[in-house]
Chain A
């Protein structure tokens, strides 16, 4: 219950933002941030809760993006149906890659490598295949009507992506309370011990991978609707594989809010850096690289973990209820 309340509170707070913020620049930043957060929420399911570190989540982002773009551009399919189809396609690709990798018993480094390889194969194929527009990419026709899943106002896009993020939060919350989640986390902690306790580790990982892929694919579909353009380096490039894993790791792997928090921090730092030094390419990713190393070194459980540790530290030093008492005092 407490978890659901927290989610409701956060979502409501975020929903209130467009009421006060009208700047397109800021709204754009928030939309992109939430979209990256969504992709990260997907990674978090298999990487955070499942402990299987995928380095190729671009495979799902890109598949979602391309499927919805191709359906709209080449077959005139309705954008909303295309969106759904993109998610399903992404989930299917997740099932294929996960099925192959987990059946083969791949773990750790090998799993990271194989996911990287799959994403690269897709990137290269998409850069030469005619249906994906090859090197040129695909442009979705501008049609600012709701039925085309395009909106005049950026605020509407914001609400759409926020709704998707909210679903992601709910899925993570469900995971933490359900038997499936307990099994998934057990597999992450110790796969052999989990199997000895009746957990079908391969099946559990596969299902987690499919859910993970679906969520990240949704982010890809959203990208297409928002930017109306997709090409191979955007769809399947390493940038999204990295951002999808970076945000939950920095925010807190295996937590409900980790990916969202991480996205806010990562994107803010990236934008801040660009602002200070001008729009030089490479700076934001440089910072991401440094952040990744620093977080692993000093706060492996991410921001959420660090906050939890701080809370535990206060409790240890000053007794139970200390954090609350301190908060009360601070409030005056």
Chain B
């Protein structure tokens, strides 16, 4: 019989993985909630951030948890620029065009990474990469514990930004009613770019949290992002609590699914959930009807 300890450990590991999924999903849902587009470039940006985190360690000797403070603003700026100067203008405001432009960017970024860095995976070996903490009944990885806590800190910071700053309020206004916000004098182009920047910053932080135990290669981000799509759809497009809860749920499902059915079928399971949610309840658990 399956030991409950092993099961609980699988669940706990799932929660920790799920937290990072949630962070990636958070960025995606933020962008969807405000710009109303699925950012297909999200995965490629995550791959790029993983490489950035890798090189920050290898070339600059920066511990990833510190590199996050450098990479987050850097990727924020990148995201801002992408939306403001590429995606926004190129799309001419058409939904379908935005899909294609983000897809084009995804292809471009991923293959630029492939071209520049080849396909081999890069990993980072840190002093604490394999350290675990003894919880009495089981051992949990230190870095993943740190990730778990970090994600909630980031979520809290984001919530504070949304609730207290002018920009945050403007973002919420645009998400609710773009025309009204425009009429009230809010620069929607700027807000769109800010939102995209925030979403990309989330991805950068997630990359820094991941690199101690994960790897960087051009398609690393993709694996994560399809899961992130699932979470966003499950939790409800544009819903921040949805992304967090959905992330944790999916993390656990993946962990248990992989445990019982093997990794590949575990992934298939997630996609089937994804498809089922899209077909049966597209607005997810917490989302607003489209």
Instruction: Tell whether, in the assembled complex, residue B279 and residue A101 are in contact, meaning their CB atoms are under 8 Å apart.
Output: yes
B233 at the interface (CB under 8 A from A): yes
Number of interchain pairs (Cβ within 8 Å): 123
Do A290 and B115 touch (CB < 8 A)?
A: no
B105, B107, B268, B279: the one contacting A114 at CB < 8 Å is B279
Closest chain A residue to B230, Cβ basis: A117
**Is there contact, CB below 8 Å, between B119 and A109?**
no
**Minimal Cβ-Cβ distance residue in B for A118:** B275
List the A side residues contacting B59 at CB < 8 Å.
Answer: none
Q: Which chain B positions have C-beta within 8 A of A120?
A: 226, 271
Given the contacts A109-B37, A249-B100, A292-B103, A282 and B111 also touching, CB distance less than 8 Å: yes
Q: Which B residues are in CB contact (< 8 Å) with A121?
A: 268, 271-272, 275
Whether A296 contacts B97 in the complex (CB less than 8 A), given A55-B103, A128-B265, comes out as yes
Instruction: Kindly supply a per-residue 1/0 record for chain A positions 106-129, scoring 1 wherever the CB is within 8 Å of any chain B CB and 0 otherwise.
Output: 101110111011101100110110
Min CB gap A57→B, angstroms: 13
Q: Does A280 contact B (CB under 8 A)?
A: yes
Residue in B91, B112, B271 whose Cβ sees the most chain A Cβ within 10 Å: B271
Are B104 and A296 in contact (CB-based, < 8 A)?
yes
Flag whether B8 is at the interface (Cβ < 8 A).
no
Whether A113 contacts B96 in the complex (CB less than 8 A), given A121-B271, A292-B101, A293-B108, comes out as no
| Contact pick for B115, options A108, A282, A291, CB 8 Å | A282
Shortest CB-to-CB span from A309 to chain B, Å, is 15
- Give the shortest distance, in Å, between B54 (CB) and chain A (any CB): 18
Question: Does A321 lie at the interface of the complex (its beta carbon under 8 Å from any beta carbon of B)?
Answer: no
Verify B115–A286 contact, CB threshold 8 A: yes
Q: Are A112 and B107 in contact (CB under 8 A)?
A: no
Interface residues of B in 1-49 (CB under 8 A from A): 37-38, 40
Determine if A288 and B275 form an interchain contact, defined as CB atoms under 8 angstroms apart: no
Taking a contact as CB atoms under 8 Å apart, the answer to whether B278 and A106 are in contact is yes
Q: Does A17 belong to the interface (CB within 8 Å)?
A: no
State A322–B119 Cα separation when bound (angstroms).
53
List the 10 closest pairs (A to B, CB-CB), nearest first.
A289-B108, A292-B104, A282-B114, A289-B107, A297-B90, A282-B115, A282-B111, A285-B111, A293-B104, A286-B111
8 more CB-based (< 8 A) A-B contacts, given A108-B96, A300-B92: A106-B279, A114-B279, A124-B271, A242-B103, A285-B111, A289-B109, A293-B105, A296-B100
